[in-house]
Amino acid sequence: MKVAYLVLALPLLLAACSGQHTDVSSQQQATGEIAALKAELAANKAELELARKELEKNRSRIADLTLQLEVLRRQGDVESARVVALKDQLDVARAAERSATEKSRAFLQKNQQLEADLARQGRDYQELLNSLEPAAGSSAPSALDPAVVADKTLVVETGVSPSFIKRVYYATNRNSLNRQSSDYWKPFLLPVVALLLGVIFLFLIRRYIKERYQRRFRLTVAIGAGLLVLLTSGRGLQEALQMLQRDRGLSIQYGNEIRSAGKGAIPYQRGYVDVSIPNKREVGEVPRPQLFRFELVVDSTKHFQLDSIQPGSSEDFYAGLNKIIESDTRKSAFVFVHGFHNTFEDAAFRTAQIAHDMKFAGASIFFSWPSQGAVMDYLTDAKNVETTVVHLRAFLEELHRESGATRIHLIAHSMGSRALVQAVEDMNGRLPESNRFGQLVFAAPDIARDLLEQKIAILAQVMKGVTLYASAHDSALRLSRALQGESEQNYQRAGETYPAPMVAPPMQTVDVSEASTGHSYISDSPLMLKDLAGLLGGSRVLNQQSQNYVPAGYWMLRAQASEQEGTVWPGTQN
Q: What is the pLDDT of residues 429-471, one digit of tens each?
A: 888 877 889 999 999 999 999 999 999 999 999 999 999 999 9
- What is the three-class DSSP state of 149? coil
Confidence (pLDDT) at 94:
83
Q: SS3 for 413-451, per residue?
A: ECCHHHHHHHHHHHHCCCCCCCCCEEEEEEECCCCEHHH
Mean pLDDT of 305-327: 93
d(CA 199, CA 185): 21
Mean pLDDT of 133-138: 40
d(CA 469, CA 524): 14
Residues 440 and 406 in one domain: yes
Q: Is residue 32 part of a domain?
A: yes
Indicate which CATH number applies to the domain containing 326.
Answer: 3.40.50.1820
Residues 185 and 88 in one domain: no
pLDDT tens digits along 375-384:
889 999 999 9
Q: Is residue 168 part of a domain?
A: no
Answer yes or no: is pLDDT of 300 > 60.
Answer: yes
Confidence (pLDDT) at 159:
40
DSSP-H helix ranges across 75-205 = 81-131, 189-204
Report which of residues 561 and 478 the model is more confident about. Answer: 478
DSSP result, 331-366: -EEEEEE--SS--HHHHHHHHHHHHHHHT--SEEEE
Q: How confident is the model at residue 160 (pLDDT cuts 50, 70, 90)?
A: very low
Residue at which a domain ends, from 221, 247, 273: 247
Confidence (pLDDT) at 33:
76
Residues 156 and 185 in one domain: no
Q: How confident is the model at residue 147 (pLDDT cuts 50, 70, 90)?
A: very low
Q: Is residue 13 part of a domain?
A: no
pLDDT tens digits along 191-245:
778 778 877 877 777 777 666 766 777 677 778 777 877 888 888 888 888 888 8
Confidence (pLDDT) at 464:
93
Mean pLDDT of 557-569: 50
Residue at which a domain ends, from 222, 247, 272: 247
Q: Is residue 549 part of a domain?
A: yes
Residues 521 and 450 in one domain: yes
Q: Who's near 371: CB < 8 A, 6+ residues apart?
A: 256, 338, 339, 340, 341, 342, 343, 377, 381, 384, 385, 415
Q: Is residue 51 part of a domain?
A: yes
Residues 217 and 152 in one domain: no
Give the residue numbers spanning the domain of 40: 22-132+148-161
d(CA 76, CA 308): 36
Q: Is residue 114 part of a domain?
A: yes
The DSSP letter of residue 465 is E
The DSSP letter of residue 79 is S
pLDDT tens digits along 322-345:
999 999 999 999 999 999 999 999
Extended beta strands in 383-423, E state: 407-413
Report which of residues 527 and 147 the model is more confident about. Answer: 527
Residues 198 and 116 in one domain: no
Answer yes or no: is pLDDT of 262 > 90.
Answer: no
CB hemisphere CA count around 523 (13 angstroms): 24
Mean pLDDT of 97-117: 78
DSSP result, 271-316: EEEEEEEESS--TT------GGGT--S--TTTS-EEEEEEEE-HHH
Report which of residues 493 and 24 the model is more confident about. Answer: 493
The DSSP letter of residue 168 is E
The DSSP letter of residue 328 is S
Lowest mean pLDDT among 51-60, 129-138, 202-211, 291-300: 129-138
Domain count, the chain: 3
With CA atoms as reference, report the closest residue to 409 among 319, 334, 496, 491: 334
Confidence (pLDDT) at 411:
98
Lowest mean pLDDT among 126-130, 131-135, 388-392, 448-452: 131-135
Confidence (pLDDT) at 146:
31
Confidence (pLDDT) at 525:
92
With CA atoms as reference, report the closest residue to 559 among 523, 518, 529, 538: 529
Residues 201 and 62 in one domain: no
With CA atoms as reference, report the closest residue to 431 among 458, 467, 451: 458
Confidence (pLDDT) at 213:
67
d(CA 324, CA 276): 18
d(CA 45, CA 42): 5
Q: Is residue 65 part of a domain?
A: yes
Q: Tally Cβ neighbours within 10 Å of residue 482.
A: 10
Confidence (pLDDT) at 486:
59
Residues 72 and 103 in one domain: yes
Confidence (pLDDT) at 325:
95
Residues 111 and 187 in one domain: no
User: What value does the mean pLDDT of the chain take?
Assistant: 80
State phi, psi for 420 to the nearest 5 degrees: -70, -40
Residues 96 and 223 in one domain: no
Residue at which a domain ends, from 212, 228, 247: 247
Q: Is residue 283 part of a domain?
A: no
Report which of residues 527 and 129 the model is more confident about. Answer: 527
Residues 343 and 425 in one domain: yes
Q: How far is CA 228 from CA 74, 198, 221, 297, in A?
A: 51, 11, 11, 21
Q: How confident is the model at residue 29 (pLDDT cuts 50, 70, 90)?
A: confident
Confidence (pLDDT) at 487:
56
Residues 119 and 188 in one domain: no
Confidence (pLDDT) at 111:
74
